[in-house]
Amino acid sequence: MKSKFLSGMLISTAIASASMSGCSQDKQTEELITKSSIIATEGRLTPEVMHNLGKLSDPQVSPDGKKILYGVGYTSIEINKNNRELFVMNLDGTDNTQITKSPKSENNARWINSGEEIAYLMGGQIWVMKKDGSEPKQISNYEKEIAEFTVSPKGDKILFISTIKSIKKPVDLYIDLDKSSGRVINDLMYRHWDTFVEEIPHPFIADFDGHSISNIVDILDGEPYECPTLPFGAIDQLSWSPDGENILYSSRKLTSVKYAFSTNTDIYLYSLPFKKAENLTDGMMGYDTDPLFSPDGKMFAWISMERGGYEADKKRLFVMDLQSRQKRELTTDYKYNVETITWLADGSGLYFTSCVKALTGVYHVNIADKAIRQVTNGQFDFDGVQLAGDKLIGTYKSMSMPNEIVSINSSDGSYSQISFENKFILDQVKMGRVQERWIKTVDNKDMHMWVVYPPNFDSTKVYPAILFCNGGPQGTLSQSWSYRWNFQLMAANDYIVILPNRRGTTAFGQEWCEQISGDYNGLNMQDYISSVKELKKEKYVGKVGAVGASYGGYSVYYLAGIHNGLFSAFISHAGIFNQEQMYMMTEELWFPHWDNGGAPWDDNPVAKRHYANSPHKLVKNWKTPILVTHGELDYRVPVEQGMAAFNAAQMMGVPSKMVLFPDENHWILKPQNSILWNRIFYAWLDKWLK
């Protein structure tokens, strides 16, 4: 199932990471993890080489527009741990200097004091150091972990995210039961993503004098609501006004059953002097997120979905005049989603990113006439940008390269890469060719797909192929780089990788996206089959396997029951197997309720057809070898789904294997778990496809 706000940070993960970073009792956390000097044997990408790449993120342009501050995460497979360090370089990429070298991760680094100092998080608390990394000092000693923070425009206040207690434990009910571990549950949303919800995030404001924080105020004091919204909302869901007197924030002010069935997230204007909040988007029933004050503070922009309960609705760009409270949509005639937003310095318009036909680029929209122009081109995915004079600074990536910092000319869209964090490793690795194709579907529509070929591809030879079934189901296979499902890693193992943007993907207009709702087992399954049959026309394509996670895992389970010998192996990670049970076991119920057409007990044609075609009802047709993997902390698609699929395969005598990870959620994130997953993944495919 789809993950919202993918650019955001998982609050619970951020707090857990901060706690781990500050644990000096664990000897392993004291070992310094730095840039890798690994050698790529035979020039091939391997799981080990992939995890030794530096993970660059969060570039911040200095107040004078001359420097860029950013972080890089490094991985030790041996220690099974990540560590993040900070760097500063000139705007053109020169004089790149590492300014921290610590066994504890430094995160959320921000320029303060006119760029003379840097504030950052380490061990769940706020620290300050000189701009060259010297004289670090801890300036907060808050009672709980701080997950993220941002400094007010004047530099006199800090807005930070921490947690408040949200439930009563046994000792709160019965004072003599201080050792009881029981959970007393009275309503829904008692667990979310990978955590039983016992605390929720709240935003706090504190005075900041550069040396300490004081006078801490909970913006949502006494309110039982999340802010930012779990599990993927981050500090970018809050925005300071230029004068520091107001804060915009996004929050879904619902709990229990209402929360579980609703996406109604609103934008609130909080006044610091009066300590009151006003709902600015009352009556707008879908997601309202990413609020951002204009440079003069007279307007704000935000991203909005229209329909409540539908988390894949079009992401529209709105602005509101804060004096008149009049709002305008700027993307009325634009058929694609708006992902991230940045105001122009003069407030005349905004830059935004948008995925269009499987490529995420930077776009510009005027406030006055709503005219939209494309700024960047090229086979890359661009992330959100910041202003630096006539330049835009951000990150970009592709299927062949992880994040690097890019400088974009705002007038003509030309761009140049200015960081080269992974050059040493990537120069050793030969990547496979990435080809763009368009093919016809069974109903004669045009479908986009990517094909990744093995390094040193020889069209006179025969190669096994992998069909990748995308999760979501709404989402897009674009030029992204993943450490979980890496397509160049598949190609490096001598597989041709088939990547169709089937029905349900979001970069081809809303009609193409919405077709999949209520038709999980219909046209998009035929799209998968069409993509494989198209590639099978090539003499160099041999046996084909299908792999996928989440909804992609559902696709694997379903294809296993209908493929009629097209596939020779399957792998499903965190896949949906029994739709009836899934509806009652997942946490964000608005998702299956919309996409499934209702509940299993609803008497309407869409719901009845959907549940009647659940993958578990086709197990009698299973014959093809299948590998099932799942994280036991996955509450989005609970682990019982994977266990049921594996058990059914075993009962049917189908060659099958299951790998469970007790300490992983919907994603396999820990370094050694990822290595294990990859080794079993390729061993399984090699056994049945080579």
Q: What digits encode the pLDDT tens for the residues 421-480?
A: 999 999 999 999 999 999 999 999 999 999 999 999 999 999 999 999 999 999 999 999
Q: Taking Cα atoms as reference points, which of 141, 138, 157 lies closest to residue 217?
A: 157
The amino acid at 495: Y
The one catalytic residue among 51, 563, 593, 666: 666
The domain segmentation of the chain, as residue ranges, is 11-425, 430-689
DSSP assignment letter at 479: S
Is 550 among the residues known to form the active site? yes
What is the distance between the alpha carbons of residues 376 and 145, in angstroms, rounded to a whole number? 39
Residue 250 annotated among the catalytic residues of the structure: no
- CATH superfamily of this structure's domain 11-425: TolB, C-terminal domain (2.120.10.30)
Sequence letter at residue 517: S
165: which residues sit within 8 A by CB, 6+ positions away? 198, 199
Rounded Cα distance, 596 and 584, in Å:
12
Fold of 430-689: Rossmann fold (3.40.50)
**DSSP-based three-state secondary structure for 656:** strand
Structure tokens of 571?
A: 């792998």
Expressed in percent and rounded to 5, the helix, strand and coil fractions of the chain are 20, 35, 45
How far the first Cα of the chain sits from its last, in Å, is 31
Give the pLDDT band of residue 522 (cuts 50, 70, 90). very high
Instruction: Take residue 49 and report the two structure tokens written for it.
Output: 């080489």
Task: Give the separation between CA 479 and CA 470, rounded to whole angstroms.
Answer: 14
203: closest CA among 292, 277, 129?
Answer: 277
Read off the pLDDT of each residue in 565-574 and give the average, rounded to a whole number: 98
CB atoms within 10 A of CB 374: 12
| Between residues 244 and 14, the one the model is more confident about | 244
381 is an active site residue: no
β-bridge pairing 137-138 and 148-151: unpaired
Q: How far apart are CA 452 and CA 86, in angstroms?
A: 34
Q: What's the mean pLDDT in 609-638?
A: 98
What values do phi and psi take at 646, rounded to 5? -65, -45
In tens, the pLDDT along 476-518 reads 999 999 999 999 999 999 999 999 999 999 999 999 999 999 9
* Residues 578-623: tens digit of each pLDDT: 999 999 999 999 999 999 999 999 999 999 999 999 999 999 999 9
Active-site residue among 550, 555, 614, 674? 550
pLDDT at residue 14 in the model: 43
Average pLDDT over residues 117-146: 98
Tell me how far the alpha carbon of residue 43 is from its chain's centroid: 30
Model confidence at 19, pLDDT cuts 50, 70, 90, reads very low
Looking at 51, 634, 656, 674, which residue is catalytic? 634
Local confidence band at 108 (pLDDT 50, 70, 90 cut-offs): very high
Alpha helices in 515-627 (DSSP H): 523-536, 551-562, 579-585, 590-595, 605-612
